[in-house]
Amino acid sequence: MTAQRTIRKVLIANRGEIAIRILRACSEMGIRSVAVFSDIDRGSMHVEFADEAYCIGEAIPARSYLNIAAILDVAKKSGADAIHPGYGFLAENAEFARAVADAGLIFIGPSPEVIDQMGEKVSARDMMKKFGVPTIPGTEESISSAEEAQSFAREFGYPVLLKAAAGGGGKGMRIVRRDEDIATAFRQATSEAQKSFGDPSVFLEKFVSPARHIEIQILGDSHGNYIHLGERECSVQRRFQKLVEETPSPFVDDALRRRMGEAAVNAARAMDYQNAGTFEFIVDPEKNFYFLEVNTRLQVEHPVTELVSGADLLKEQLRIAGGLPISQNLIDYSNNPRPHGHAIECRLTAENARADFAPSTGRITFLKVPDGPGVRVDRAVRAGSEVSVYYDSLLAKVIVWAANRENAIARMRRVLNELQVDGVDTSLEFHRWLMENEEFLGGRLSTKFVDEHYHPEDIKTNIDEELLAVAGALLFHNEKNGKNGKSTHSGPVDTKGLAWRMSGRGGVR
């Protein structure tokens, strides 16, 4: 059992919406907070929300949010006694967790040893086999050449999946369906793995398709308590990046939830996992599930679990890190987890949904955030915020809760129609399209859902005739005055926002 340690001040080694989520949990628990920021994040909301804030370097993550020495230096200066890594950046970096502990501080997450074990995907899969967790057939070690990959692919049978051994989040992954494509895929996967994780190692698995991506939220503490809080359905993805999450899954029944939960909890207990974590699985149509990976941190999509279970996962993380047991109400819930209602999360990203989700940067010039019963928006942007090339494209998480899936979808549809963003392209149109799609409404999902059903050209907009007339008048007026040299504007008329609002008001069909 870990000795109890009072946490009085937490440094948040992150930025964006997750930094604000942590700051709010600290505030509600009477814990002071310390933010760190790069020079271009000086005006960011997480800096404003924190009790203290320190600049740690330039915009490039390696010179700020990935700079372990600079973060520890701020922790020492500020008198912080714990560090929360959030997700991304250093959240699953065992070296960072070890350095925090060596500095006499509390790392809010699992031990460095567990992060190490789960960070290397091949060894993690081998460990899961020993714990009795089903795994996908694949190579026992990393593969060193395209020829070796080809040999294993022929043995397992196409299609196969090349995966980065050191990473996750869809980076360094390639599906290979034919012998003649494997050399190119191997070169691309190793190159992307090197760029993303500093390690080009890849391994190969049989590609299970069609399949769903379903994950189990677990908690473990130093008092011997290990629980799960049910599943999250994360099958709606593009290029292995999650777009929408919901719970409960429309596919998972009580028996499957119990089997997956028991597998995750037993493995967590076997590895002495303490704090919050997520076991990710692939599930085939016959409800066979296979281990994918363990994320040794809080997930982006954790709010949907919170809304149906009553948990505050951030507060649980802080409790466990301070040596306290998991809250009793969650232990009671986990004995027979029956989600209360239904929750859906849409990730609003700065990506053009009409152009294959191409990244978009710039200044947000207009933002209208929806609200109302059962609505939660976790964000770190406002009108005037800059979306830069340096960081993740996530702008906000739009989350709704309702008594059942049908009502949750109806609520999300309303919320998305109220949401307005101008200045950068976003994924909003995709989400509006999704909430009208018959396959999604029927719960018929798979990891290939976007590839099979989403066609950007199918997005139609209802043009508001009144606004169209106003826009036409403005343009005519501007052109006329410009021709006569009588313009009253200091610069060109920006009709982009108007055009966007015209496309948004009528909703997407």
**If we measure between CA atoms, which residue out of 176, 170, 188, 121 comes closest to residue 150?**
176
For tokens 């699992």, the residue is 110
Structure tokens at 498: 């108007």
Does 257 qualify as catalytic in the annotation? Answer: no
Inter-residue contact 167 to 196 (CB < 8 Å): yes
CA distance 280 to 291: 6
Structure tokens at 355: 């152009």
Inter-residue contact 252 to 231 (CB < 8 Å): yes
CA distance 357 to 339: 32
- The one catalytic residue in 297, 347, 405, 432 is 297
**If we measure between CA atoms, which residue out of 440, 338, 318 comes closest to residue 33?**
318
**If we measure between CA atoms, which residue out of 318, 390, 304, 399 comes closest to residue 89?**
390
Helices (H) and strands (E) in the chain, counts: 18, 22
End-to-end CA distance of the chain: 56
CA distance 393 to 348: 9
Q: Which amino acid is at 374?
A: G
Q: What is the DSSP letter of 51?
A: S
- Number of Cβ within a 10 Å radius of residue 332: 10
Inter-residue contact 109 to 115 (CB < 8 Å): yes
**Cα dihedral sign for 201, 207, 211, 216?**
negative
CA distance 209 to 285: 9
Structure tokens at 268: 């967590």
Structure tokens at 322: 């301070």
Inter-residue contact 279 to 208 (CB < 8 Å): no
- Number of Cβ within a 10 Å radius of residue 130: 9
**Cα dihedral sign for 336, 26, 13, 365?**
positive
For tokens 């930094």, the residue is 19
Structure tokens at 30: 């009477």
CA 245 → CA 90, 234, 344, distances in Å?
24, 5, 6
Helix axes 496-505, 465-484, angle to 10 degrees: 170
Residues identified as active-site: 297
